[in-house]
A and B are shown apart, each in its own frame.
Chain A
Amino acid sequence: MLESGKSAWFPPEGSTTAAHVDLLLYFLVAVTASVGLLVAFLMFYFCIKYRRRPGAGRPAKTNASHALEWFWTITPMFIFAVMFIWGAVVYVDAYHAPADAIPIYGIGKQWMWKFQHPEGQREINTLHVPLGRPVQVLLTSEDVIHSFFVPGFRVHMDVLPNRYTSVWFQATRPGDYHLFCSQYCGTNHAGMIGTVVVMEQADFENWLSLHAEGSLALEGRKVFLKYRCISCHSANSGARAPVLEGLYGSTARLNTGKAVVADDAYIRESILDPGAKIAAGWENIMPTFRGQVSEEEIYALIAYFRSLKRGETPRRVEDYPPPTATPPINTTAPDGRASDGRASDSKPSQPAQP
């Protein structure tokens, strides 16, 4: 691990999952080593004891024992059943993220990792996470298949294009952990590595506020306006598309009569392939945004919908009357301070932003 002085024999145990996986590993090592050594011992013992001696005749036939055959056919099955169930329990646990996990949005591309925090921070090849809190990383790829692998956490998930996968972990020790791409992805596959930095809760909060440029949801709101989604998905009574308030995580009824949970994948699909699942009571008039909206913008939209509460849908631009006259441009700003935000704030002629 990056932390110096760690054993070369064993990776650091940096997450709750790591402890479970290692315990399972010890069990498997104990069982398989016992069986393996038993077979090795018997072979070795037989080879010494029954080695061919000069002048010895042909050994008599040993009659096959059906009881013995069935014994070593059935017994492994019981041992395997224990391995299977224990392994399944650990896997199922790693499969389902806790409901209160912090969502982090990750993108793999040749050959880098990009992460976005809900608070708005962006990182490349580094991921800061808080100690002792479950974190769920939503993953997608912009090109080929990658794999998100943090050995210190014993978690591993392939990252596919046009699709979301996710992985979750709860760090148990502060420090730096390797992040590897483990699915071969081309020339610099071995260079697609990064660091997961586990910080104490207070340090993490501090770090969060240091670099923020506004939350990811706010960015999503801008994307929502930029692509004029609001033209149809407005809160007006005459809207041409369903209002998206409170949609995230709810159960959406479809015009086929089926119902789906409006999760990340559903939202992404509805943006890129609007005809795939149509909300009950609506016509499919939405064009696809494939090729226009980037994966990062979709993440921002998801974060936005996640935060969108009842009554928070922005008003359509069309609801504002167009300006009847251009506001006078202040040409007297001295020494170019007009580009400075602090200076602009003081100008009374600036119209208020909606």
Chain B
Amino acid sequence: MTIATLPPPAPLPAEPPAERSNYLNVSYGVVSWLLTKDHKRIAILYLISVTAMFFLGGAAISIVRLHLITPQGALVSADTYNRLFTMHGVIMVFFFLVPVAPAVLGNFCLPLMIGAKDLAFPRINLLSWYLYVVGGAWTLYAMLTEGVDTGWTFYAPYSSQATHYNVVPTLIGLVLAGFSSLFTGLNFIVTTHWLRAPGLTWFRLPIFVWAMYATSFISLLAVPVLAMALILLMLERLLHIGIFDPALGGDPLLFQHLFWFYSHPAVYIMILPGMGIVSEVIPCFARKALFGYKFVACSSLAIAFLSFLVWAHHMFVAGITLYAALIFSCLSFLVAVPSAIKVFNWTATLYKGSIAFETPMLFCLGFVALFTSGGLTGLFLATLGVDMHVHDTYFVIAHFHFIMVGGMVMAYMGGLHFWWPKMTGRMYSQWWSRLAALIIFVGFFLTFLPQFVVGYNGMPRRYYQYVPEFQVWNVLSSAGASILAVGYLLPLGYLFYSLRYGPRTGDNPWGATGLEWQTSSPPPRDNFAVTPTVYRGPYEYDTGKAQNEP
């Protein structure tokens, strides 16, 4: 069948006791990193890139939040403001949220979790990273020279005809980055199908792998549509071919349909991996099998499927027909069902557990709370009668950030802290990291709860100035954002510190049962000395037996 069934390689020669060979020390030098085909090293490359992007996007929004302290706008001009929120949105969505979990954690963990030596196509994996970097460079060039002021949604005809800024280079960057995630998705799907260790049946896969698999399918099917939409937009902008602009005979709603056909599934590209991470972490620290494993696994696939059928819920007041609005509202409620199933199952997993509050667990419990809040407010937006009021207001901003920042970034932090000892072989400060989890959780609520209120009061998004009665909520939100910023800077400090000064951990510091923990930390170049054979499911915490224990 595959590599997985080949006879196991001869055991490695006895290692020196001081430092075992691992993927970090197997070779040195910049070239050995830039030309690496090791999924673990590529994950580290991604980790560095997405972290840089995260802080760039964060810097942009910090200026925005400061600016919004006064109703007239405190800091920057209207055009600068518009370019700043666009920079925040574009960078955070396309260069942080979409790649962060698959490209960093998925890249690192997926082969380890299924007992493979690497992804199916290591060279394509490296190509993905280069596409990401080149795409990021184009976009940053566009952002940092003249900037772009369309918002991350690029609605035509504003983006295609009206704006004078750097739309085309940005779009080139996004198309390249899109193909980066498409190739990663392709790689993950093939890897999951073909490189599973012997005995690792589909229903023995960790939920994280299920989530990656579902995410990959969304990428594979949706990214081409995004690329199409953006290329058409470029054609219209450069050659004045009428596609979206009515003045040229186009239809502006067509752009919205195409854009959201990608961008709604894309929010599940962003959040599904987070659900996967939480499904790994909660069982580990509760010492319980994941409650309702099959329901959780299948709900990932259900989300991936249904996510393609709800895009026009972004367009309830955009001028679609009444029947379209009714159908898309109904389907949007349906996609909430699998998410609800997951939340109930995570909660039930805690029941009669033995719960430890290590940092990854704190982040993941925070995820469940914030994601649930975000999901429940999503129901308001799926409800036609409420959406027609809160559409394009800060209510939507708050909802989106509850899912994406409260949900996904919390889950990513949880995953990063969970697998950090696996990636580096070192442990970070428990005290500082718990403090960071707490600060992020509190700062998040303070930042985004006021936005629900000001949104229902009618403050539209993308306003560089606003009417005075909205000020109190904006000041509260900005104050919360400053706390949140501290929370995000802290991990940068203590994680870096741990690289050099953190105590060395054992191979499996959390006592987890997943395959990735059954090899050394950091793992050797080929992940496992001997390809493991799998005898059981991923979460048998009642016996404490690892997946490869007979």
> Which A residues are within 8 Å of any B CB, using their own CB?
1-2, 6, 8-11, 20-21, 24-25, 28, 32, 35-36, 39-40, 42-43, 46-47, 50-53, 56, 58-62, 64, 68-69, 72-73, 76-77, 80-81, 83-84, 86-92, 94-95, 110, 143-145, 147, 149, 151-152, 154-158, 160-163, 165, 178, 180-191, 193
Contacts and interface: CB of A to CB of B under 8 A. Distances in A.
A157 B325 CA distance: 13
Given A58-B543, A144-B162, A184 B461 contact: yes
Interface residues of B, number: 93
Given A32-B376, A39-B372, A187 B330 contact: no
B391 interface: yes
Contacts of A72: 340-341, 344
Interface stretch (B7-15, B258-266, B452-460): B452-460
Interface of B: 78-79, 82, 149-151, 153, 155, 157-158, 161-163, 245-247, 252-253, 286-289, 291-293, 295, 316-319, 322, 325-326, 329-330, 333-334, 336-337, 340-341, 343-345, 347-348, 350-357, 365, 368-369, 372-373, 376-377, 379-380, 382-389, 391-393, 453, 456-458, 460-467, 469, 472-473, 541-544
Contacts of B82: 184, 186-187, 189
A89 B325 CA distance: 12
A193 B389 CA distance: 16
A147 B457 contact: no
A59 B352 CA distance: 7
A151 B548 CA distance: 60
A151 B458 contact: yes
Given A39-B347, A60-B352, A144-B158, 17 more contacts: A20-B385, A36-B372, A39-B372, A51-B354, A61-B289, A62-B288, A84-B330, A87-B329, A89-B385, A91-B329, A160-B246, A160-B253, A162-B246, A182-B393, A182-B460, A185-B158, A189-B463
B252 A161 contact: yes
Contacts of A25: 380, 386, 456
Nearest to A80: B333
| B interface: dominant SS | helix
B377 A32 contact: yes
Given A151-B457, A158-B317, A184-B155, A1 B465 contact: no
A161 B246 contact: yes
B376 A51 contact: no
B392 to A, nearest CB: 4
Given A24-B383, A28-B386, A47-B355, A190 B465 contact: yes
Contacts of A91: 316, 325-326, 329, 384-385, 388
Contact of B391 (A36, A56, A95, A156): A156
A159 to B, nearest CB: 9
Contacts of A110: 162
A145 B341 contact: no
Contact of A157 (B317, B333, B344): B317
A211 to B, nearest CB: 26
B462 A184 contact: yes
Contacts of B382: 83-84, 87
Nearest to A139: B319
B252 A24 contact: no
Given A32-B376, A186-B162, A188-B78, A58 B383 contact: no
A183 to B, nearest CB: 6
Contacts of A53: 354
A190 B317 contact: no
Contact of A156 (B163, B317, B343): B317
Contact of A59 (B288, B341, B456): B288
A84 B381 CA distance: 11
Contacts of B350: 42-43, 46-47, 50
A81 B383 CA distance: 10
| Top-7 shortest CB links A-B | A151-B458, A90-B385, A162-B246, A87-B383, A91-B384, A182-B460, A46-B350
Given A51-B355, A77-B337, A183-B155, A161 B247 contact: yes
Contacts of A185: 158
9 contacts: A21-B389, A58-B541, A76-B336, A87-B383, A90-B384, A144-B162, A180-B458, A184-B158, A185-B158
B150 to A, nearest CB: 8
A254 B455 CA distance: 46
Contact of A163 (B246, B368, B472): B246
Scoring B325, B336, B388 by chain A CB atoms within 10 A of each residue's CB, the highest score goes to B388
Given A58-B287, A59-B353, A178 B543 contact: no
A185 B78 CA distance: 12
A8 B339 CA distance: 33
Contacts of B292: 64, 68-69
Given A76-B337, A84-B330, A186 B353 contact: no
Nearest to B343: A39
Contacts of A163: 246, 319
Nearest to A91: B384
Given A24-B386, A58-B541, A182-B391, A46 B253 contact: no
Nearest to A142: B247
Contacts of A1: 469
Contact of A145 (B252, B388, B472): B252
A68 B383 contact: no
- Which interface residue of A28, A91, A191 has the most chain B CB atoms within 10 A? A91
A21 B386 contact: yes
Contacts of A88: 326, 329, 384-385
A50 B158 contact: no
A61 B355 contact: no
A73 B337 contact: yes
Given A43-B350, A163-B246, A178-B458, A83 B383 contact: yes
